[in-house]
């Protein structure tokens, strides 16, 4: 009896194109990943690493009482360690409760409530001359470790566009840009780097009553 051997080859004509497509897709994904890494990798790492690192301690004294002038409200910020901060690229935001004056009403009036104070930079320009006198440590253009920054409720050039200090009360921005802080209440202070738009330090402190 004659034996026949039958070899089943199957249809392999479609195998090679399928493998080719899979390899092309894989290579496309791989190349896309390399491209993204090349285009965005340095930018991402730079933005994360370029923000200065700093540690800040805070203290404050103030009052919203009418008999206590805005000029008796102080915030003391000690640069307790880390990189020096450039005065023209450092912003300070203070959030808490307090008061400010507005001329938006007949005769003007004091407003009380949630206060938001913004120091757009630490430069002497755009502030009262007393700010420069209190903060002579900034004369070199840097706020360095071991130096204390002294902010005052009367730092602003009263309500003018030249002021680099702005104050809002309960969302009302038309104020004298000077401020008083409510005693025995905590305030939050944020230090921001303007170049990276990052918050580089944040702290809280309780306002000690001013006399």
Q: How far is CA 49 from the centre of its chain?
A: 15
pLDDT of residue 110: 86
pLDDT of residue 20: 56
Q: Identify which of 93, 90, 110 has the alpha carbon closest to the alpha carbon of residue 101.
A: 110
> d(Cα 141, Cα 157) in Å, to the nearest integer?
21
pLDDT of residue 68: 75
Is the model's pTM score more than 0.75?
no
pLDDT of residue 89: 96
pLDDT of residue 103: 75
What is the β-pairing status of strands 54-62 and 198-209? parallel
| H or E stretch covering 37 | helix 15-49
Which residue, chain included where needed, has tokens 């990052």? 198
Which segments of the chain have a pLDDT < 50?
A: 5-10, 23, 25-49
How many Cα atoms within 13 Å fall on the side-chain side of residue 25?
6
pLDDT of residue 132: 96
Domain ranges of the chain: 54-209
> d(Cα 58, Cα 60) in Å, to the nearest integer?
7
Which residue, chain included where needed, has tokens 């420069």? 132
């Amino acid at each position: 009896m004659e034996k026949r051997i039958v070899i089943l080859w199957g249809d392999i004509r479609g195998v090679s194109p399928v493998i080719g497509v899979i390899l092309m897709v894989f290579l496309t994904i791989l190349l896309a990943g390399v491209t993204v890494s090349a285009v965005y990798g340095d930018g991402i790492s730079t933005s994360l690493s370029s923000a200065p690192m700093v540690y800040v301690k805070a203290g404050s004294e103030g009052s919203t009482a009418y008999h206590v002038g805005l000029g008796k409200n102080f915030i003391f910020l000690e640069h307790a360690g880390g990189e020096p901060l450039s005065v023209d690229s450092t912003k300070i935001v203070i959030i808490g409760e307090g008061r400010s004056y507005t001329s938006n009403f007949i005769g003007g009036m004091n407003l009380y409530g949630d206060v938001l104070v913004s120091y757009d930079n630490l430069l002497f320009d755009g502030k009262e001359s007393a700010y420069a006198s209190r903060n002579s440590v900034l004369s070199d253009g840097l706020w360095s470790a071991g130096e204390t920054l002294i902010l005052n409720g009367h730092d602003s050039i009263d309500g003018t566009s030249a002021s680099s200090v702005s104050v809002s009360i309960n969302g009302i921005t038309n104020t004298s840009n000077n401020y008083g802080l409510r005693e025995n209440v905590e305030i939050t202070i944020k230090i921001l780097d303007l170049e990276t738009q990052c918050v580089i330090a944040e702290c809280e402190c309780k306002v000690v009553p001013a006399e």
